Structure 1
């Protein structure tokens, strides 16, 4: 994992090299000298001279991360272990975030539908929470978005982004920033995917979706959490059905 992450996570080769040295020294049962480190660094595609390694170790010594043990070589210090653990915690977080971002990018019909099913789980919960937690300001923003959606339908304008914004505002009103952030990412990737497949029908169902949005809005205003959940789930299933129908129609026309 370290090799794959070095260019993506570490700011420069020096940071990556210092991290690898700390990890190697920490893993060793015995003090390590420059020659041993040279061989082990090569396993991480780091080719440096013994003299250079000596300079790197002196820098780590000065920072308090490594210590010379009885002239036998370096061992890692408590401060070095703390530094190493802090780096690896951030590295693990970075890796998970990268995997999540990659997973959120649908590459085909099947993955787009999986993304939409993930949206159902999130959006049913954000609708419930919005009904319980929405402030007056949240309600005003959702109402404004709804009116904007209506205007776009009456003027036969593009609907996907304005419709999705309604959903994002509900997620914000849930007061759960984790669900809100996850939904925002999924919606972004859905919009990008729909740009690649302009035949998708989600954009052509404006009037039907306005009715759903109005009912969701009213449930949230009434603080009816159960009703908000039921309508949102039904609404999202309609979106999924529209996408499935679009792909089926294209497949049929191609034969």
Structure 2
């Protein structure tokens, strides 16, 4: 079921709230929690959000006490949070790139390539067997299925630190 963007955002917020809750939540407690967090919704809207999340299998009903996050809901929330982090990083990168002309960016890339090549050569000459194994492990992760890596930027940074 495709959701309107504003509804998707509220559903995401609801998942986070339900995940953090110490007890099952119903429409009333969800509406109060969302309002307290700066996104006021009516109890009816909270009920509709819960209904959609129920139909998607993201919640489990606890008799008449309310709902908790299901395993599927927890996985979905983790995916959404990871996407949000990636989106935030991408926006920051785009903002950073706006400060440079295309020519400046090309100069930076050419310079970085030369520096990285020389750094790799020096690392290979000075590296211990343990250093090389660590570099190889990071390289295999970076060359593999990146969808299985929670934070590619962390691995990339560790790879470059190992070379330096």
**Equivalent residue for 1:74?**
67
Counterpart residue number, 2:24: 31
Query: Number of residues paired by the alignment?
Result: 116
Report the Cα offset of residue 66 of structure 1: 0.8
Q: In the aligned structure 2, how far is the partner of 1:118 from the partner of 1:27?
A: 44
Shift in alpha-carbon separation, 1:31–1:118, aligned structure 2, 3 A: same
The alignment yields a C-alpha RMSD, in angstroms, of: 3.1
Counterpart CA distance in 2 for 1:12 and 1:125 is 43
What residue number does 2:114 align with? 124
Alignment of 1:168-187 (within 5 A): none
Aligned mates of 1:87, 1:65 — CA distance in 2:
13
User: Residue 32 of structure 2: SS of its match in structure 1?
Assistant: helix
Judging changes above 3 Å, is the alpha-carbon distance between structure 1 residues 101 and 77 closer, same or farther for their aligned structure 2 residues? Answer: same
Question: The residue matched to 1:60 in structure 2 has which SS?
Answer: helix
What displacement does 1:81 show? 0.5
Q: Which structure exhibits the higher relative contact order, with contacts defined as CA atoms closer than 8 Å and separated by 6 or more residues?
A: 1
Among 49, 56, 59, the alignment partner of 2:49 is 56
Closer, same or farther: CA 116–62 of 1 in aligned 2, 3 Å = closer
**Shift, 1:55, TM fit:** 2.1
Partner of 1:46: 39
Q: 1:123 to 1:64 in 2, by over 3 A?
A: same
Task: Please give the secondary structure, in 2, of the residue aligned with 1:24.
Answer: helix
CA deviation digits over 1:57-87, x for unaligned, max 9?
1221111001111311110000000111111
**SS of residue paired to 2:22:** coil
Q: Highest Rg: 1 or 2?
A: 1
Which residue matches 1:95?
88
By how many angstroms is 1:47 displaced? 2.3
Separation (CA, whole Å) in 1 of partners of 2:4 and 2:109: 34
Gaps of 5+ in 1: 1-9, 108-112, 129-175, 177-255
Instruction: Give the Cα–Cα distance (whole angstroms) in 2 for the partners of residues 105 and 58 of structure 1.
Output: 42
Give the Cα–Cα distance (whole angstroms) in 2 for the partners of residues 85 and 59 of structure 1: 18
Q: Distance in 2 between matches of 1:27 and 1:80?
A: 13
1:46 CA displacement:
2.4
For residues 121 and 31 of structure 1, the distance between their equivalents in structure 2, rounded to whole angstroms, comes to 56
SS at match of 1:30: coil
After TM superposition, which residue ranges in structure 1, 4 or more long, deviate above 6 angstroms? none
